[in-house]
Chain A
Amino acid sequence: MKLIREIIEDETGDGLVVYFMLMSVISFMMLCLMLNFMNWNSERNGLQIMADSASRAGTVAISKSYPIRERNGHGLADYHVYTELNQAEAGDLSDLVIDSYTKKLKLAEVTKVEKNPIGGFTVPVWNSKTFQYDERSISTQKQYKNGNFSVLVEGKIKSIWPGLLGVKEELDVEVYSQSAARGKVTDIK
């Protein structure tokens, strides 16, 4: 006890007290940053999984598939466009997934969902002359008819200890996912 009292009462620990306080503040800042980075990463991963599942869900709304004939470098070729997607139903199916997932979100919230927001994708189509898939760019209008469905989700992730040590209160995130409806090819010549 005497020894401990001596250690406490001597003045050799002056620098240690300042050092300890400084280290505590730095450690707390690092802990705060680490927790927030982990949280942002985790919640963003969750939103990405949701978008992937939602875009995939949209491609299930297939109504029919049909072949088209187009001129290419070797003459006429039959391109079997995979499927025709029902735009409204695809949106409803992806909403089912998004609604189900957002109910479980704790530190994140979905602020905006855009379905098929970006046009001009390149999709592979079957070329019956060369018996292989060709890459062919299609317009936004045709995009639905070729069984592609994309989802762009905008959301906010709340920070842990917001406002503390310069940590933003919310972090804006944007996740994107696109799925192609393959199969269902009918009437192959």
Chain B
Amino acid sequence: MILRKLREFLRDESGNSLVTLVIACIPMVYILAMIISFGQAFYGVQVAMNASAVGARAAALHSSAASAYTAASEVAKDYTSRAGMGVSFEADDLSYSTWSRKEKFEYSVTVKVKTAMPMNPYGNGIRESFTPTRGCPAIIEGE
């Protein structure tokens, strides 16, 4: 009796739409994950860009490279810590030649974007994290 009912259930066509939905769900979820990850990565680039700008502005006021780097890192870390959306501070770099007034330098920031829906079944999917880097040039103002 039970087996017959089960067989009927398996053979009837009432689950057509459900099967179609299940098949369609896989690419839909993947597309959703792509949209979310793309948004996160794009936001991460913006955060890195702005963090490097505020860091460079803080660094420019200092008279020594060491204190400039410390100040820039502090500001950039503070900025990225408030960014949200899975974005966090990863690394930074201060490039200069001698650190003297009116000389050009560049402060760059790398952020880590942890994707909300990583899907990487075959090695070429959505990665678990992105690390965009952006830099901002500025002129040293410190005496």
Q: Do A and B bind each other?
A: yes
* Cβ B139 vs Cβ A57 within 8 A: yes
Stretch at the interface among B1-9, B45-53, B69-77, B119-127: B45-53
- Which A residues touch B68, using CB under 8 A? none
* Cβ B102 vs Cβ A49 within 8 A: no
Which of B49, B57, B137 contacts A97 (CB under 8 A)? B137
Mostly helix, strand, loop or mixed at chain A's interface? helix
Stretch at the interface among A38-46, A67-75, A121-129: A38-46
Q: Contact size class for A? A: 20 to 34
Interface string of A170-182 (1 = CB under 8 A from B): 0000000000000
Given contacts A3-B13, A3-B16, contact A60 B101 (CB under 8 A): yes
A52 interfacial contact with B, CB 8 Å:
yes
* Cβ B45 vs Cβ A56 within 8 A: no
A26 interfacial contact with B, CB 8 Å:
no
* Cβ B104 vs Cβ A97 within 8 A: yes
B136 interfacial contact with A, CB 8 Å:
yes
Which of A42, A60, A97 contacts B141 (CB under 8 A)? A60
Which of A60, A100, A101, A104 contacts B102 (CB under 8 A)? A60
Q: Contact size class for B? A: 20 to 34
B106 interfacial contact with A, CB 8 Å:
yes
User: Number of contacts between A and B (CB, 8 Å)?
Assistant: 53
Interface string of A113-155 (1 = CB under 8 A from B): 0000000000000000000000000000000000000000000
A167 interfacial contact with B, CB 8 Å:
no
* Cβ A42 vs Cβ B46 within 8 A: yes
In the complex, what's the smallest C-beta–C-beta distance from B82 to chain A, in angstroms?
Answer: 18
- Which B residues touch A61, using CB under 8 A? 102
Given contacts A61-B102, A96-B104, contact A56 B57 (CB under 8 A): yes
* Cβ A53 vs Cβ B56 within 8 A: yes
Interface string of B6-23 (1 = CB under 8 A from A): 000000010010001000
B138 interfacial contact with A, CB 8 Å:
yes
Interface positions of B (Cβ within 8 A of A): 13, 16, 20, 42, 45-46, 49-50, 53, 56-57, 60, 101-102, 104, 106, 135-141
Interface positions of A (Cβ within 8 A of B): 3, 7, 38, 42, 45-46, 49, 52-53, 56-57, 60-61, 89, 93, 96-97, 100-101, 104
Q: List 10 A-B contacts (CB under 8 A).
A: A45-B50, A46-B49, A53-B56, A53-B138, A56-B60, A60-B102, A60-B139, A60-B141, A100-B137, A101-B137
- 16 other A-B residue contacts (CB within 8 Å) besides A49-B53, A53-B138, A60-B141: A3-B13, A7-B16, A45-B50, A49-B49, A49-B50, A53-B56, A53-B57, A53-B137, A53-B139, A56-B138, A57-B139, A89-B102, A93-B102, A96-B137, A97-B139, A104-B135
